[in-house]
Amino acid sequence: MAADLGLLIDSGLPAEMTLDGGNWELPEAVYAIQRLHQDGKLPFLKEALTVFFEGAIYGWGRFMTEFAAGGRIDQATPHEHEAAFVRATNDHNEGCLRKWCTAKCKAPALSLEVWNAKMMHKNNHTDEWLSQNSTSVLDNFIAQEAWRQDKAGISCHTRTWHVQEQKDWVARNKEKRQKAKVNRTARTDKLNAYTPNLDSTYWTDERHDVDIKDMLSWLRALCRKHLVQVPTGLTKTGVGKEGRLKALVELLRELTDDQKAMIMVSGDDIPHAQAPDVSEDLVLSEGEESVGTDKET
């Protein structure tokens, strides 16, 4: 790579450049850099890449030597391994929070209490300790303690609270979807009743700031998407009314009379978006699954 940078910055294929022969992780970024280099907009790219790869050769060589048989890491004592260990995150809570989020994604019905118990069981090496210290007295104590907690109904109360929380979560999401559906319907009805004007002079001779967003939204409708391409990102912070007006005027000026005629007759009404409703049976089934999951755990 360092010997022939042209393979990378000119026309190199991912299969020739990547270690696994797969595609780039961000192909759009690589292709954008290649285009900028070919247009002469990155005059120092070769020098920067040369320094990078030369440093990588030195760094990777030293890195591989440290892990080689008979190297410093291979000959280090367990105490030295423990002393040199570095966690993936500086904050233990940050790492645990990420583990909890990952576990919750894999098992949405998992409760925090059950997950905490599993993590404590794993991190404290409970199985290993029990295998070395298990006695009949200890087994009887564990059985009695489990019976006492079960009789007190602590786990049952926790599961009931967890199921109710899941039901509330489903209800909140359902309410959000319904509100979003109402807003989409109102927006669609407004655009269907909107009277567009495809004359660019209409927008430049007199300011119509209130109608700019509606005009852009009307042009973005699916029934007109194949006829006109409205630029994206016009609603982002920093674009402002002037930026949206400029984009709209430039877009209208590029349209021919035939294109404008086709746009005006394309699609009488914008169809209303349909959002699936969550039935009450689904809400109950999710709660029932939560109880079953906790019991099995």
Model pLDDT for residues 214-232, shown as the tens digit of each residue: 888 888 887 887 888 888 8
> Which whole-number Å values give the CA distances from 235 to 28, 125, 214, 220, 242, in the listed order?
23, 54, 12, 13, 12
Tell me, rounded to whole angstroms, the distance of Cα 218 from its chain centroid: 29
Per-residue model confidence as pLDDT tens digits over 83-96: 888 776 666 666 78
pLDDT at 93: 65
pLDDT at 269: 52
Domains of the chain by residue range: 6-75, 92-152, 182-265
Angle between the N-to-C axes of helices 112-123 and 126-133, in degrees from 0 to 180, rounded to the nearest 10: 60
- 199-222: buried (b, 16+ CB within 10 Å) or exposed (e) per residue? ebeebeeeeeeebbebbbbbbbbe
pTM (two decimals): 0.43
Tell me, rounded to whole angstroms, the distance of Cα 62 from its chain centroid: 36
- Which contacts (CB < 8 Å, 24+ apart) does range 64-69 have? none
Q: Are 119 and 99 in contact (CB under 8 A)?
A: yes
| Region for residue 40 given its phi and psi (left: phi exceeds 0; alpha: psi -120 to 50; beta: otherwise) | left
